[in-house]
Amino acid sequence: MKVLVATDKPFAKVAVDGIRNEIEAAGYELALLEKYGEKAKLLEAVKDADAIIIRSDVIDAEVLDAAKQLKIVVRAGAGYDNVDLEAATAHNVCVMNTPGQNSNAVAELAFGLMVMAVRNMYNGTSGSELKGKKLGIHAYGNVGRNVARIAKGFGMDIYAYDAFCPKDVIEADGVKAVASAEELYSTCNIVSLHIPATAETKNSINHALVGRMPKGGLLVNTARKEVINEAELIQLMEERADLKYMTDIMPAANEEFASKFPGRYFSTPKKMGAQTAEANINAGIAAAKQIVGFLKDGCEKFRVNKK
Ligand code: 3PG
């Protein structure tokens, strides 16, 4: 059996070594395709793969057609919007993610972006502190919970909204649960986004919602670029010179944001929330173990597509 690690944005070497140990200990072969750039290289590499470990790499119907022996794809990470789940089901391929394994890394980067913004991008002028500020956590999943934990250390006043997480679960963490996204944005000085990219959430972070934020509002995005209505956010930031946007996922309109809002906008050049050795090891080795469990014992824990 051949397990392919196909990561355009590679894991740390120590994580690849750990994945290799798991795969080879199970008697399987490991193949590595990193920084491949063009889809053609991925299409070639998947031809004889029985299992694939990916990150944000796109697995669509064309890739699945090319992967004649494929049985399982594990997205080493949380969001699986990069995998065509229906096509995977149609090809009889199991898709899994590794929830929670990289969430601390993403949460820490959210604070990296927050501190950078409130210290005026480190331009030497007097900024402000996070202590005492109202932080809104938009979606209270694994990353949101880590954000809440870290925010307590900063002495922030913490609020959260999650359409699917019960209020008592949020409040058990000492976080104030609000009834709607609208209330979260109206209440908080800083909102940190942790929603997945789904049909319902795409373009949902729009003028009406972000426009509710109090003066000096800061929006931090370590989730997905697709959830932002970029045209409306640009319009809003033109109307309101007090708002800031910090993102780990470069928008399609990056150049427009950067030229129109210097000092109020920043994007990392490459999505790097989960780019730590620890997160790579956790998510990568979890993915390898899930593949071994699936191939050897048929274990389908963390399956995200229909059969
Ligand atoms: C995730 O969904 O797990 C994060 O967005 C990290 O994605 P990455 O593996 O592409 O860095």
Per-residue pLDDT of the chain (307 residues; tens, 9 = 90+): 999 999 999 999 999 999 999 999 999 999 999 999 999 999 999 999 999 999 999 999 999 999 999 999 999 999 999 999 999 999 999 999 999 999 999 999 999 999 999 999 999 999 999 999 999 999 999 999 999 999 999 999 999 999 999 999 999 999 999 999 999 999 999 999 999 999 999 999 999 999 999 999 999 999 999 999 999 999 999 999 999 999 999 999 999 999 999 999 999 999 999 999 999 999 999 999 999 999 999 999 999 999 9
Contacts for 160 with CB less than 8 Å, ≥ 6 apart: 136, 137, 138, 140, 144, 148, 170, 175, 176, 177, 178, 184
- Report CA(79)–ligand 1 centroid distance (Å): 6
The model's pTM is: 0.97
Q: What is the 238 CA–ligand 1 centroid distance (Å)?
A: 30
Q: Cα(75) to centroid of ligand 1, in Å?
A: 9
Supply angle C-alpha 72, 76, 82, rounded to 5.
75
- Ligand 1 surroundings by CB, under 6 angstroms: 9, 55-56, 77-79, 102, 271, 273-275
- Are the C-beta atoms of 108 and 150 separated by less than 8 Å? yes
**Closest C-alpha to ligand 1, atom 3:** 77
Give the residue whose CA is nearest to atom 11 of ligand 1: 274
Check residue 272 and give its pLDDT.
97
Closest ligand 1 atom number to CA of residue 275? 11
What span, in angstroms and rounded, lies between the C-alpha atoms of 169 and 150? 17
- Which protein residue has the closest C-alpha to ligand 1 atom 10? 56
- Which mutation among 16, 271, 275 tests ligand 1's pocket best, with the greatest number of atoms within 8 A of CB? 271
* pLDDT score of 15: 98
Substitution candidate for ligand 1 out of 35, 57, 95, 102 with most atoms within 8 A of CB: 102
Please tell me the distance between residue 228's alpha carbon and the centre of ligand 1 in angstroms.
Answer: 17
Question: Among 61, 109, 101, which residue's Cα sits nearest to residue 79?
Answer: 101
Top mutation candidate among 19, 54, 55, 282 for ligand 1, by most atoms within 8 Å of CB: 55
Closest atom, ligand 1, to C-alpha of 56: 10
Give residue 207's pLDDT: 98
CA of 20 to the centre of ligand 1 (A): 20
Measured CA to CA, the distance from residue 260 to residue 262 in angstroms comes to 6
Q: Which atom of ligand 1 is nearest to the CA of 224?
A: 5
Cα-to-centroid distance, 223 and ligand 1 (Å): 9
273 Cβ contact list (under 8 Å, min separation 6): 102, 105, 106, 109, 110, 222, 248
Model pLDDT, residue 58: 98
